[in-house]
Amino acid sequence: MSETKRTAVITGATSDRGIGRAVAQRYAREGWAVVILDLDGEKSAKVAAEIGNQFAVPAFGYAIDVTSEESVAAAQHAVAAEVNSGALPPVGALANIAGITSPVPFLETTLDLWNKVMAVNATGTYLVTKAFLPDMIDNGWGRIVNMSSVSAQRGGGVFGKVPYSSAKAAILGFTKALAREIADTGVTVNAVTPGAVDTNIRVGSTDEQEAKLARDIPVGRGPRRDRGGHHLPVKRRRQLSVGHHRRYQRREPYSLTGTR
């Protein structure tokens, strides 16, 4: 089965200025069918249709709350129905991108904030992976890429603070442990650890915060976009994790940090 006959599932991919949407477009450009899963089902369907039309690939959008086991199961069942009907090829890749940040100093955090950030970032990655992994194992091939952050490796210092860094560190541990556990199945699991990226997740940041972010990056800026406004390093790195040449590569955190 060639890569052009597989489907990539991407969570958190409806934002106009998000990594998820750029990644979905990259998959589609490479000939993959795409599934867009996000909180807003109507917008997910719209974005999927736009990408499908743009790149002439099958596409499907559906609502998902990654913190809800029931919602995740419903989304997986909907995708499976599309596959079984022949509207989509089998799922061959999963990109867990849905996430939220927390630019709140530690002593000002609440348990509710902590739980929410952990639920969307870490628990969401767990639930969505658990839902889509069985079919990949049954098919003997799959590529899972999880969105962590340089904050997990250096202990914050980008935009999100303690809850965010902790959740993203949990994703690294999850990625490495799962990759080891399923190493003989044909499914690989890797993580990406971007530095500061100009997306909607940083809405509300001050000029002072943005200046500090730039100062903390040795090259003095965040990742550049292509002419379509897409984040080149991130989408290219994620594509590297899904090809046939990556059969041997597992548990690898890809750092995209401006040599941070």
Q: Give whole-number Cα distances, 1 to 7, 57, 78, 142, in Å.
A: 12, 16, 23, 12
Q: What is the mean pLDDT of the chain?
A: 83
The arithmetic mean of pLDDT across residues 80-89, rounded, is 98
Please give the pLDDT value at position 70. 98
Please give the pLDDT value at position 207. 58
- Residue 82's contacts (CB-CB under 8 Å, 6 or more residues apart) are 35, 60, 88
Does pLDDT of 77 surpass 70? yes
Does pLDDT of 90 surpass 50? yes
- Residue 42's contacts (CB-CB under 8 Å, 6 or more residues apart) are none
- 25-51 pLDDT per residue, tens: 999 999 999 999 999 999 999 999 999
Does pLDDT of 229 surpass 90? no
Residue with token string 């800026």 = 221
pLDDT above 90 covers a percentage of the chain that reads 65
pTM attached to this predicted model? 0.81
Burial bucket for residue 158 (CB in 10 Å: 0-12, 13-18, 19+): buried
- Residue 206's contacts (CB-CB under 8 Å, 6 or more residues apart) are none
Higher pLDDT residue, 52 or 102? 52
Nearest 5°: the CA angle 199, 129, 181 is 125
What is the homologous superfamily of the domain 3-254 according to CATH? NAD(P)-binding Rossmann-like Domain (3.40.50.720)
Instruction: Give residue limits of the domains in the chain.
Output: 3-254
What would the DSSP string read from start to end of the chain? --GGG-EEEEES---TT-HHHHHHHHHHHTT-EEEEEES-HHHHHHHHHHHHHHHT--EEEEE--TT-HHHHHHHHHHHHHHHHHTSSPPEEEEEE---------GGG--HHHHHHHHIIIIIHHHHHHHHHHHHHHHHT-EEEEEE--HHHHHTS-SS--HHHHHHHHHHHHHHHHHHHHTTTTTEEEEEEEE----SGGGTT--HHHHHHHHHTSTTSS---B-TTS-BHHHHHHHHHTSSGGGTT--SPEEEESS--
Please give the pLDDT value at position 240. 44
Q: Is 62 a catalytic residue?
A: no
The arithmetic mean of pLDDT across residues 164-177, rounded, is 96
The arithmetic mean of pLDDT across residues 233-255, rounded, is 49
Selected catalytic residue, list 27, 126, 164, 254: 164
132: region left, alpha or beta (phi > 0 left; psi from -120 to 50 alpha): alpha
Does pLDDT of 259 surpass 50? no
The arithmetic mean of pLDDT across residues 60-65, rounded, is 98
- 115-168 pLDDT per residue, tens: 999 999 999 999 999 999 999 999 999 999 999 988 888 776 666 899 999 999
